[in-house]
Amino acid sequence: MPRVDADLKLDFKDVLFRPKRSSLKSRSEVDLQRTFTFRNSKQTYTGIPIIVANMDTTGTFEMAKVFSKHTLFTAIHKHYSVEEWKTFADNHPECLERIAASSGSGNADLEKLCAVLEAVPALKYICLDVANGYSEYFVEFVKTVREKFPKHTIMIIANEYLQEYELLFNESLTCICPGSVCTTRIKTGVGYPQLSAVIECADSAHGLKGHIISDGGCSCPGDVAKAFGAGADFVMMGGMLAGHDQCSGELIEKNGKKYKLFYGMSSDTAMKKYVGGVAEYRASEGRTVEVPYRGDVENTIRDILGGLRSTCTYVGAAKLKELSRRTTFIRVTQQSSQMFT
């Protein structure tokens, strides 16, 4: 029979950091660099652990060029051709240390992934994207990819909360997600509040020497900090990076204002673009929005990193690595004053 878990689960909007004693004199003293050694590939990664989501509007080569300069990471969307990959790799080899090649879980996806990795052997990271991380089929697919690419680090992007890490922990990275243009919770009633999901998943993953990506749910720099404070090793975002020059798509002009299109990868827009439409047996689980044009992504990057450094100073964390140990969340009913919104 159905059961109800009555334990309170929290989202980023439900908490704030409690300020703590700090010896830091300036935000410039905060070190945001992290170094990770991944459990199976044995690869070591050093950089600021923020990832661009592998959506076709944000996970672009243009975004990767800018993010790489800041030691940030980009999960490249899966719709680039092998030839486009080769051209990018030849022209921008300095970016290859900080990007992942994405794949779905179908046979054609696997063939495409194999072709990309053969064409660009310097790639070290694979991003596997699936709606339901609990799917037995997907678990078997992950095993197949691991067998084919034992020296690569595998990131798993799942639309729903993964609790049973033992199923997937021959992999190095796992993640959970409620995106800004994802409507799965509305269409299906399935989901898990992001802050609690990160806390619980991090506890499980770190005990197995794995790593967690918090994917989705961030709407401001403070949310990014909360994800790290909750125990995430990496934070992935799409909506916060939408609308920039480095995003794909043309500028739309309406009533003298400029916009860029942003949509979920399970939306009507994406499915019409890549598979000819929404199959009659399924529903669209993403929305399409027009995001006000925001110019170069450099300013947004500075805003996010500046906010993260500021969080660390308020809780006394000299390094990003220390943030979760210095974190105490307090429950709140309001995040900020609404006087001038």
283 marked as part of a ligand binding site? yes
Sequence-ordered list of residues with C-beta below 8 angstroms from that of 293, at least 6 positions apart, any chain: 243, 251, 257, 258, 259, 260
215 marked as part of a ligand binding site? yes
* Integer Cα distance of 81 and 279 in angstroms: 24
265 marked as part of a ligand binding site? yes
182 strand-pairing partners: 286
311 marked as part of a ligand binding site? yes
Is 333 an active-site residue?
no
182 marked as part of a ligand binding site? yes
217 marked as part of a ligand binding site? yes
78 marked as part of a ligand binding site? yes
27 marked as part of a ligand binding site? yes
Other beta carbons less than 10 A from residue 25's beta carbon: 8
Write out the two tokens for 107. Answer: 């046979």
Other beta carbons less than 10 A from residue 240's beta carbon: 21
Q: Which of 74, 184, 300, 327 is catalytic?
A: 184
Q: Please give the backbone phi and psi of residue 102, each rounded to the nearest 5 degrees, phi first.
A: -95, 155
31 marked as part of a ligand binding site? no
239 marked as part of a ligand binding site? yes
Write out the two tokens for 184. Answer: 């799965």
Q: Which of 175, 177, 182, 247 is catalytic?
A: 182
Under 8 Å between Cβ of 251 and 259: yes
Under 8 Å between Cβ of 187 and 149: no
Other beta carbons less than 10 A from residue 292's beta carbon: 10
284 marked as part of a ligand binding site? yes
3-state percent breakdown (helix, strand, coil) of the chain, nearest 5: 35, 20, 45
185 marked as part of a ligand binding site? yes
135 marked as part of a ligand binding site? no
286 marked as part of a ligand binding site? yes
Quick one: 121 exposed, middle or buried, by C-beta within 10 A (0-12, 13-18, 19+)? exposed
220 marked as part of a ligand binding site? no
Under 8 Å between Cβ of 198 and 183: no
Is 184 an active-site residue?
yes
Q: List binding-site positions for NADP(+).
A: 26-27, 78, 129-131, 265, 281-282, 310-313
Q: List binding-site positions for K(+).
A: 179, 182, 185
Give the active site residues.
182, 184
Q: List binding-site positions for GMP.
A: 215-217, 238-239, 264-266, 282-286
Q: List binding-site positions.
A: 26-27, 78, 129-131, 179, 182, 185, 215-217, 238-239, 264-266, 281-286, 310-313
